[in-house]
């Protein structure tokens, strides 16, 4: 069974009219996978629901004062503007749930070899401030959790969202056992890009072939050099040519090929992988969902979950 992690709260957030964040995409993605593809009935996937983490669990990763102010709605207005969402209890609840979801995905991946979170990838959250729709860095939080699992000594975060994983890079800069690897557009948000352990910055208008070829060669080198025994993967689809916030020229099939490439490595090298859906901002939500489902299609193609527990 291919484990998928989801909670309805992910899409339960009232936003001002015209807000660019596609908050409904999580529910639409779940509905699409659950109904239209009918994959649960094919008995190859299983949905899991997280239970929310407590805010105090974040205080060893983020600045305790930041967490305190965030949950109590006492952040200065400028800090809320940088996050990009108005404060609400819904916002805090879904954020804590999503961090729990990425952590649960790590546990499921440890057990099954793979897990997919239908949320996550809040890589612009830093130690004492949030940014770019990210409040809590679920990737850094879950990567640290992975290091507590039996036999896991080195974790790699492969972040293929079109935007650089700046928060993850700064939060984990002094963590030698978590390797941060970001593949992103060189002229996109965030303006200031602190060093990850590995940064692959590609120019605007990078095509599918250029992307896959370059990414594959750096991925091979990175895995050979660091030999991680657990991978977190941010499968952001804002690399697509029609994404509102991306500048690459990458096709739907290019997203599938990228995801299949990463998953193939993990499958053949027997490295557990916890994947999150990451960014994706197309206004046409049906098209956006199609992009995010590529990750699940690639996982089904590589892992053949109908055979996962059969001889
Ligand atoms: Zn992004």
Distance 243 CA to ligand 1 centre (A): 10
Domain range for residue 221? 2-307
pLDDT at 172: 98
Q: What's the pLDDT tens digit per position in 99-111?
A: 999 999 999 999 9
- Spatial contact of 296 and 305, defined as CB atoms under 8 Å apart: no
Residue 40 has pLDDT above 60, yes or no: no
Q: What is the DSSP letter of 72?
A: T
> What's the mean pLDDT in 85-104?
98
Distance 119 CA to ligand 1 centre (A): 13
- Spatial contact of 53 and 99, defined as CB atoms under 8 Å apart: yes
Distance 17 CA to ligand 1 centre (A): 21
- Spatial contact of 43 and 127, defined as CB atoms under 8 Å apart: no
Residue 187 has pLDDT above 90, yes or no: yes
Residue 41 has pLDDT above 80, yes or no: no
pLDDT at 44: 77
Which of the four pLDDT bands, split at 50, 70 and 90, describes residue 268? very high
Cis peptide before 190 (omega within 30 of 0): yes
> What's the mean pLDDT in 259-270?
97
- Spatial contact of 103 and 262, defined as CB atoms under 8 Å apart: no
Distance 189 CA to ligand 1 centre (A): 8
Residue 289 has pLDDT above 60, yes or no: yes
> What's the mean pLDDT in 142-160?
98
Measure the CA–CA gap between 64 and 55, rounded to whole angstroms.
9
More confident residue, 45 or 233: 233
For the chain, the helix, strand and coil percentages under 3-state DSSP, each to the nearest 5: 45, 15, 45
Count up the domains in the chain and report the number.
1
pLDDT at 224: 97
Average pLDDT, the chain: 95
Q: What's the pLDDT tens digit per position in 221-235?
A: 999 999 999 999 999
- Spatial contact of 5 and 108, defined as CB atoms under 8 Å apart: yes
pLDDT at 80: 97
Residue 208 has pLDDT above 70, yes or no: yes
Which of the four pLDDT bands, split at 50, 70 and 90, describes residue 310? very low
Which of the four pLDDT bands, split at 50, 70 and 90, describes residue 311? very low
Distance 138 CA to ligand 1 centre (A): 14
pLDDT at 42: 61
In the Cβ-directed half-sphere of 175, how many Cα atoms lie within 13 Å? Answer: 22
Distance 230 CA to ligand 1 centre (A): 23
Which of the four pLDDT bands, split at 50, 70 and 90, describes residue 309? low
What CATH code is carried by the domain that includes residue 251? 3.40.800.20
Distance 116 CA to ligand 1 centre (A): 18
Instruction: Give whole-number Cα distances, 163 to 25, 39, 127, 285, in Å.
Output: 19, 31, 18, 20
> How is residue 156 written in tokens?
């790699």
pLDDT at 67: 98
Distance 223 CA to ligand 1 centre (A): 23
Which of the four pLDDT bands, split at 50, 70 and 90, describes residue 1? confident
What counts of helices (H) and strands (E) characterise the chain? 9, 8
């Amino acid at each position: 069974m291919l484990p998928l992690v989801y909670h309805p709260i992910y899409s339960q957030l009232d936003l001002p009219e015209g807000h660019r964040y596609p908050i409904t995409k999580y529910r639409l993605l779940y509905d699409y996978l659950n109904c239209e593809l009918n994959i649960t009935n094919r008995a190859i996937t299983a949905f899991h629901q997280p239970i929310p983490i407590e805010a105090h669990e974040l205080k060893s990763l983020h600045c305790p004062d930041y967490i305190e102010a965030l949950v109590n709605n006492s952040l200065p207005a400028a800090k809320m503007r940088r996050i990009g969402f108005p404060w609400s209890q819904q916002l805090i609840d879904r954020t804590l749930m999503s961090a729990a979801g990425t952590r649960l995905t790590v546990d499921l991946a440890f057990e099954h070899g793979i897990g997919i979170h239908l949320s996550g990838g809040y890589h612009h959250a830093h130690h004492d401030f949030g940014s770019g729709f990210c409040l809590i860095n679920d990737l850094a939080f879950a990567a640290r959790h992975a290091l507590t699992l039996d036999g896991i000594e080195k974790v790699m975060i492969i972040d293929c969202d079109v935007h650089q994983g700046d928060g993850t890079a700064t939060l984990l800069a002094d963590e030698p056992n978590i390797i941060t690897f970001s593949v992103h557009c060189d002229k996109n948000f965030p303006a200031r890009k602190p060093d990850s352990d590995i940064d692959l910055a590609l120019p605007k208008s990078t095509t599918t072939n250029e992307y896959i070829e370059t990414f594959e060669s750096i991925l091979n080198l990175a895995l050979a050099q660091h030999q991680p025994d657990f991978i977190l993967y941010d499968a952001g689809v804002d690399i697509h040519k029609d994404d509102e916030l991306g500048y690459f020229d990458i096709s739907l099939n290019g997203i599938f090929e990228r995801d299949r490439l990463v998953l193939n490595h993990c499958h053949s090298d027997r490295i557990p992988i916890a994947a999150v859906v990451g960014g994706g901002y197309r206004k046409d939500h049906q098209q956006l969902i199609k992009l995010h489902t590529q990750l699940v299609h690639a996982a089904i193609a590589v892992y053949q979950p109908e055979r996962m527990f059969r001889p």
